[in-house]
Amino acid sequence: MKRKLVWLFDLDNTLHDAGHAIFPAINRNMNALIARVLEAEAKPSHAEAVNEMRVAYWQRYGATLLGMMRHHAIRSEDFLRDAHEFSDLSQMIRAECGTAYLLRRLPGHKILLTNAPAGYSRDVVRHLGLHKHFADHVPIESMVVHRQLRPKPSPWLLRRLLASRGLTPGRCVLVEDSLENLKSARALGIRTVWLTGYTRGTRHRPAFVDVKVKSLNHLARQRRKLGAG
C-alpha cells in the first residue's frame, strides 16, 4: 500500500494573501517597536534608520525578531505580541476562493508550519475555515531547539520536526512561498512545492523546487506529480 503524504504548509503568502494588508500592518508595528528601542538606546530613530535595521536583521537572521533578541535583549513574546496587533484582523484577510475545498483535495496528514505566532496563525486558519484540516500546528513559539529559537529555514527545526513525529523526509512535502525555506527543506530530502501566486514570484523554477504552482487550485490539479491520490 502506498503511504500517504505528509503536507507541511506555510501560512503567510501560502494559504492567504498576507501582502494585502497584514504584512504592511506588521511592518508598521515592527517599525514602531524598533523606533522605541532605538530611542531608549539614545540612537537615531527616524524612519530611515528604523527601516534599515528591520531589513538588515531580516536579511541576516531570516527574521527581524532574531536580530532584536540578539542585539537589543527584546523578549520574543513581547515582540510577537506587539508586531501582531491588529485593529480588525478578519477584515484584513484575503485568500483564494475555496481554500478549504482545495486542501481536501490533497490527501494526507497536514501540519501548519509557520514562523508566525500561535494566536495570530490560529485566528487566520479559523477565519478561513481551515483549522479542521490541520492535525498539527507548529507556530514560532514551538520552534525552540536546544533552547534557541530556530524558525524556518533552520535545518535544526526541520530535523527535529521529522524526528519527533517519526516522519521520513521523502514522504513530506513543504508548500511555501519562500525559496530559502524550500531550499533548506530540499537539502534534507523533503519534497518542495513553490507557491508563487501571492508573491508574484516570476523566477524560473530552481532545481530544489519539485513543483512550482501559482495557486492551491493548480497544486490540487498537479498533485499526482507528487504521488498524491
**Site residues (vs Mg ion, CB under 5 A):** 10, 12-13, 177
Distance in angstroms (rounded) separating the CA atoms of residues 145 and 207: 29
State the nearest-atom distance from the C-beta of 13 to Mg ion, in Å: 4
Q: Which residues pair with 114 in a beta bridge?
A: none
Angle between helices 22-40 and 64-72 (to 10 degrees): 10
Closest CA relative to residue 12, chosen from 25, 30, 28: 25
Nearer to Mg ion, 33 or 63 (CB): 63
State the nearest-atom distance from the C-beta of 152 to Mg ion, in Å: 9
State the nearest-atom distance from the C-beta of 199 to Mg ion, in Å: 8
Nearer to Mg ion, 63 or 149 (CB): 63
Q: How is residue 21 written as a grid cell? A: 494588508
Nearer to Mg ion, 12 or 17 (CB): 12
Distance in angstroms (rounded) separating the CA atoms of residues 66 and 68: 5
Distance in angstroms (rounded) separating the CA atoms of residues 140 and 36: 24
State the nearest-atom distance from the C-beta of 177 to Mg ion, in Å: 4
Nearer to Mg ion, 10 or 17 (CB): 10
